[in-house]
Chains A and B, each alone.
Chain A
Amino acid sequence: MRDFRKRKTLQDLFNKKIETLPSEMNMNMISSNLSETEQQLKKLFENCSDFVIRPIYVMDKVKILLLYIDGLIDTNMLDEVFLKPMLFERKPQGLEGVSSLGQVIEQKLIAITQVQNVSKLSELVDGILKANIGVVIDGEAKAMLAGLPGFEKRSIEEPSTEVTIRGPKEGFTESLSTNRTLLRRRIRSTKLKLESFTIGELSKTDVVMAYIEGIATDSLLKEVRSRIERIKLDALMGSEMLEEFIEDVPYSPFPQIQNTERPDIVIANLLEGRVGIIVDNTPFVLVVPMTFWSGLQAADDYYERFIYTTFIRFIRFTLFNISLFLPSLYVALSTFHPKLIPTSLLFSVAAAREGVPFPAIIEALMMEFVFEGLREAGVRLPKAIGSAVSIVGALVIGQAAVQAGIVSAPMVIVVATTGIASFSIPRYNFGTSIRVIRFIMLLLAGIFGLYGIVLGFIALHIHLVCLRSFGIPYFSPVAPQIPADLKDVVVRMPRWTLNKRPTFLAGKDKIRFPKGQKRK
């Protein structure tokens, strides 16, 4: 109870803090007195060295203020489309129906596409901070925001985490507008909706929820909206932070939200009735809901011919099981149930284990530990050193350890196979969850043998079947089984047979295209 009360007061404090910040400015309408506004702005932007106030006189008499953040806007364009007309143009012709100078500037002088009128000081400040140029005119109780973003951003590059052989080589960047464009370019329909949210009292990060109207169910949209709107943060750093706040079961080792760097994956998922969440400053877009099976599907599955895809999926599923169970099976069989190993194989294993000082379980844990360490070091180190580490690692754990008689050769094979298998899982964060569970399985196998592995297997499946991602069972369409949706889970049927969207996801619009399009 005490705990609860304490939390409540903290929440109150946070609310109070949030309230004080904007309320100060909310009250303030922009005054018609320019110097007063200037004073207010200068106070607000005190010690912000990147804030620029540029007073200019239009048509030699009216003072206006240009306000912008240096670096956020395109200064060349500012000169070209803003300053030059303002400073050098004569009074424009045909001003009969114009009531104020502001209107003149807005309609005749600023050659910028996006212009917006604001009357509150807070809106003006927000606009300036979001890469707009603020224009305040003497004698008018409003300001204009002209969008002229021109900050430095990374160009579109090939996604480094999800490489395909044949698919498009475009990946998301840190810029929200670029990412939005990448989606819009693929669906040229008004049905692609990009709902905007702002999260973070300080960061004011833009979050966009992308979906296709009619395909995504309303209940899913409602759920996603409510989960996003619920979040109150000081700053939203990226999609991974958002993910932790909106995930169903954060304590599960399995990710319930898919992230991807590829616009084609997002679009394919939107077309199945899922929802994409784009967060500014993150090249990873979230896709909800996620299922177990999407963790094992790669983009290339849809860019290769279906026969090969089905084959490679079988291999991938086998490797998935290997990466989860192989070390524990080895330990369980060799220490608890040698009867289950074929006689001649047992002789080889026994011969290799001769003189190894550690029990198999310790040996396995040690090798897995070294392997994970090697992987971690390889990821963190600069590329040039990374390869050196892997060579040393291969020599140390592969050969020297066996020759020194510290570990047995079969164990090296087991650990290496497991390592390769774990890298074959296409979704990186899905693979990491398997890695964690592998250690639990290994301990169970070391303590209980096969019995422990079976227990762990059952517990794992109970967990997986109970897990839900945004209301969708994690194991669907296998459990609960929807036979019609099994066409694209373990096997991939040819495209012309996949004419229906997954029924456990899609809303009103269930049919992708008319069936019977196989060429005869």
Chain B
Amino acid sequence: MSKGSIVSVILCIQIIITTGCWDSMELNDRALWLATGWDIGEKEDEIQICGQIVLPSNMQSQSGGSGGGGKGESFIAVSAKGKNVQEALENQQGMLSREAYFGHRRVTFYGEEFARHGLKKEIDINSRSPNVGIRTDVFVVKGDTALNAMNQSNPFENPPAIAALKAHRQAGGRGDRVYLDLLMAANSEGIRPTIPTVEIGFIQKGNKEAKGEAKKTILKLAGLAVFGPDLKLAGFLNMDENRDYLWVRGDLQKKSITVSFDDESNTSLVLSKIKGKIIPKMEGNQITFTVKLSGEGGITENNNNLDINMRENVRTLEKSLEKQTKERVLATIHKVQKEFGLDIFGFGESVHKKYPHKWKKVKTDWDHYFAEANISVNVDLKIRQIGMTGPSLLYKESEIKE
């Protein structure tokens, strides 16, 4: 072996000895941080960060070492205050024997108070830190603080923060794309950011004299929070309006539509293939929009005497479904136009894409243009399945309308 090769071997060994290992940390030295909650502190300029941290020893585990010690909660919510996020986290770390690890943070909650003060100054750390992914679901806690929301346990999910995320997906929402959407909207002039909301409600709704178990509360989806300039909370939309909103944006995954024909009977359609598109049209300074909504699905409930084996009857059904849907979506859009005057749907973005030059003139005062804009809705629904029976079995043959 020549001198050179011996030296290079020694150098290589030194590389191994002196580097490496620096970000190595055992799992039992990390505090797996699953959800973050943001609230306003006691003082106006203080924020309070709370974290839902997994307690692995209380998770289901086959090792069974601790024996019959009885399983406590599998999570702990800790909170601390500080001038900014880093300081709050620093204060929080003092309570934790393990280093907080944000790699698996799946959900973020903003307290309503906090959201009203505006998110702009605070969420920088989320995109700056390499440990935190932007695949995060974000919620505004309607009428409560994030800390309270994070203390809610969930009968299915353990730890419970995942429950909000899963429920959001089940409802056909955007899931963990919300935070990315929020960042994009915050940066763009043609669309205003929105965040889905959750609220704390009782498990059993109609049970007024509920006691014990039945009186438990749970975190449930509540609709949408609309943000205005400086990422300040402007107001809320309810669940139905939220779905209309997602449909217009083309983000809706599933939806059911129920329409009534007369006072007694109604029909439900569950849509699966859902599409939404905004088509702008500019004539001079006049901007008009056409919202094209389409969907395909199956009838799940039809308690009137229509025989939907007949093609014409299906057409009639489709027509009335389309008509009522159109009215509802339009109502939602008008509500947003009037109440908030904030373009959360991205009408501005569509103008930006189609008329990039003209967009420059209108973009500075886009919210105003949006509030005045003339918007029409086109709905195209297709019934693909009618279920196991044609006419409802509840009617006699003579009553069935062919």
Tell me the smallest distance from the CB of B356 to a CB of chain A, in Å: 39
B101 at the A interface (CB under 8 A) = yes
Q: Tell me if B23 and A336 are in contact (CB < 8 A).
A: yes
| CB contact list, B20-75 vs A, under 8 A | 20-21, 23-28, 30, 32, 34, 54, 56-57, 59-65
- Determine whether the beta carbon of B54 is less than 8 Å from that of A347: yes
Q: How far is the CB of A347 from chain B (nearest CB, A)?
A: 5
Contact with B along A328-366 (1 / 0, CB 8 A): 000000111011000100111111111110011000000
- The contact of A402 among B16, B26, B32, B63, by CB within 8 Å, is B63
Residue numbers in B under 8 Å from A348 (CB-CB): 59-61
- A359: nearest residue on chain B (CB-CB)? B26
Q: Tell me whether B142 is interfacial, beta carbon within 8 Å.
A: no
> How far in angstroms is the closest Cβ of chain A from B252?
26
Minimum distance in angstroms from A176 CB to a CB of chain B: 41
A181 within 8 A of B: no
> Is A405 interfacial (CB 8 A cutoff)?
yes
- What is the bound-complex CA distance between A354 and B71, given in angstroms? 15
- Given known pairs A350-B28, A359-B26, A449-B24, the reply for A339 and B62 (CB within 8 Å) is no
Minimum CB distance partner of B24 in chain A = A335
Q: Is the CB of A449 within 8 A of B23?
A: yes
B174 at the interface (CB under 8 A from A): no
Q: Is A149 engaged at the interface, CB distance under 8 Å to the other chain?
A: no
CB of A378 within 8 Å of the partner chain? no
Complex partner residue of A408 from B30, B60, B63, CB under 8 angstroms: B63
B101 touching A338, Cβ below 8 Å: yes
Contact B63 A405 (CB under 8 A): yes
A347 contacts which chain B residues (CB < 8 A)?
32, 54, 56, 59
Give residues 396-412 of A contacting B (CB, 8 Å).
402-403, 405, 408-409
Q: Max chain A CB contacts within 10 Å: which of B24, B104, B162?
A: B24
Cβ contacts under 8 Å, A449 to chain B:
23-24
> By the criterion CB–CB under 8 Å, are B56 and A353 in contact?
yes
Could you say which of B20, B26, B28, B162 contacts A343, with CB atoms under 8 Å apart?
B162
What's the least CB distance linking A340 to chain B, in Å?
9
Q: Are A336 and B27 in contact (CB-based, < 8 A)?
A: no
B133 at the interface (CB under 8 A from A): yes
Could you say which residues of chain A place their CB within 8 Å of the CB of B192? none
Tell me the bound Cα distance from A409 to B65 in angstroms: 12
* B16 and A353 form a contact (CB under 8 A): no
CA distance A359 to B106 in the complex (A): 27
In the assembled complex, A265 has its CB within 8 A of some CB on chain B: no
Q: Does B103 contact A (CB under 8 A)?
A: yes
A131 CB, min distance to chain B CBs, angstroms: 48
**A354 engages B28 (CB within 8 Å):** yes
Closest residue on chain A to residue B23 by CB atoms: A336
> B63, A409: Cβ atoms under 8 Å?
yes
Residue of A334, A351, A402, A408 touching B59 (CB-CB under 8 A): A351
A446 — which chain B residues lie within 8 A by C-beta?
24
Q: Is A447 close to B, CB under 8 A?
A: yes
CA distance A405 to B62 in the complex (A): 11
Q: Cα distance A409–B64 when bound, in Å?
A: 11
Q: Is the CB of A339 within 8 A of B20?
A: no
Cβ–Cβ contact A338 & B104, under 8 A: yes
Report chain A residues within 8 Å CB of B23: 336, 449
Number of residue pairs spanning A and B whose beta carbons lie under 8 angstroms apart: 84
Of all chain A residues, the one with the shortest Cβ separation from B16 is A447
Contact partners of B103 in chain A: CB under 8 A: 338-339
Q: How many residues of A contact B (CB 8 A)?
A: 29
Determine whether the beta carbon of B20 is less than 8 Å from that of A346.
Answer: no
Whether A355 and B65, one on each chain, are in contact in the complex, defined by CB atoms closer than 8 angstroms, is: yes
* In the assembled complex, A57 has its CB within 8 A of some CB on chain B: no
The docked-state distance in angstroms from the alpha carbon of A343 to that of B61 is 15
Give Cα distance in the complex from A397 to B104, angstroms.
32
Alpha-carbon separation in the docked complex, A347 to B103 (Å):
13
Interface centre among A348, A354, A360, A402 (most CB of B within 10 A): A354
Distance between Cα atoms of A347 and B162 in the complex (Å): 12
Residue of A335, A336, A350 near B54 (CB, 8 A) is A350
Query: Are A405 and B65 closer than 8 Å at their CB atoms?
Result: yes
Q: Is the C-beta of A452 less than 8 angstroms from some C-beta in chain B?
A: yes
In the complex, A452 Cα to B25 Cα: how many Å?
16
Within 8 Å of chain B (Cβ to Cβ): is A457?
Answer: no
Contacting pair A353 B27 (CB below 8 A): yes
Complex interface: chain A residues within 8 A of B24 (CB):
335-336, 446, 449
Q: Among B25, B56, B59, B65, which residue has its beta carbon within 8 angstroms of that of A403?
A: B65
Q: Are A447 and B62 in contact (CB under 8 A)?
A: no
Asked if A448 lies at the interface with its beta carbon under 8 angstroms from chain B, I say: yes
Asked whether A351 lies within 8 Å of B20 as measured between CB atoms, the reply is no
Chain B residues within an 8 Å CB radius of A346: 27, 32, 104
| Chain A residues within 8 Å of B54, by CB | 347, 350
Are B60's CB and A351's CB within 8 A? Answer: yes
In A426-449, the 8 Å CB interface with B consists of 446-449
Q: State A334–B27 Cα separation when bound (angstroms).
A: 6
CA distance A339 to B101 in the complex (A): 9
Say which residue of A352, A355, A448 sits within 8 Å of B62 (CB atoms): A352
Q: Give the chain B neighbours of A355 by CB distance below 8 A.
A: 28, 57, 63, 65
Q: Looking at the assembled complex, report how far the CB atom of A343 sits from the nearest CB atom of chain B, in whole angstroms.
A: 5
- Residue of B with least CB distance to A446: B24
Chain A residue numbers with a CB within 8 Å of B21 are 447
**Nearest B residue to A361, CB-CB:** B24
A354 cross-chain contacts in B, Cβ below 8 A: 28, 56-57, 61, 63
- Cβ contact within 8 Å between A343 and B106: yes
**In the complex, A343 Cα to B57 Cα: how many Å?**
16
Q: Are A350 and B56 in contact (CB under 8 A)?
A: yes
Binary B-proximity of A158-188 (CB < 8 A = 1, otherwise 0):
0000000000000000000000000000000
Roughly how many angstroms separate A352 CA and B64 CA in the complex, as a whole number?
A: 9
Cβ A349 vs Cβ B63 within 8 A: no
Minimum distance in angstroms from B365 CB to a CB of chain A = 43
**A-B CB contact pairs (8 Å), 28 listed:** A334-B26, A334-B27, A335-B27, A336-B23, A338-B27, A339-B104, A339-B131, A346-B32, A347-B59, A348-B59, A348-B61, A349-B27, A350-B28, A350-B30, A350-B56, A351-B56, A351-B60, A352-B63, A353-B56, A354-B57, A355-B28, A402-B63, A403-B63, A403-B65, A408-B63, A447-B20, A449-B24, A452-B20
* Interface of B toward A, CB cutoff 8 Å: 16, 20-21, 23-28, 30, 32, 34, 54, 56-57, 59-65, 101, 103-104, 106, 131, 133, 162
Which residues of A are in contact with B by a Cβ distance under 8 Å? 334-336, 338-339, 343, 346-356, 359-360, 402-403, 405, 408-409, 446-449, 452
Known: A336-B24, A351-B60, A351-B63. 12 other contacts (CB 8 A): A335-B24, A335-B27, A336-B25, A338-B32, A339-B104, A350-B32, A350-B56, A350-B59, A353-B26, A360-B26, A360-B27, A447-B21
The 3 A-B residue pairs with the shortest CB-CB distance, nearest first, are A339-B103, A351-B61, A351-B59
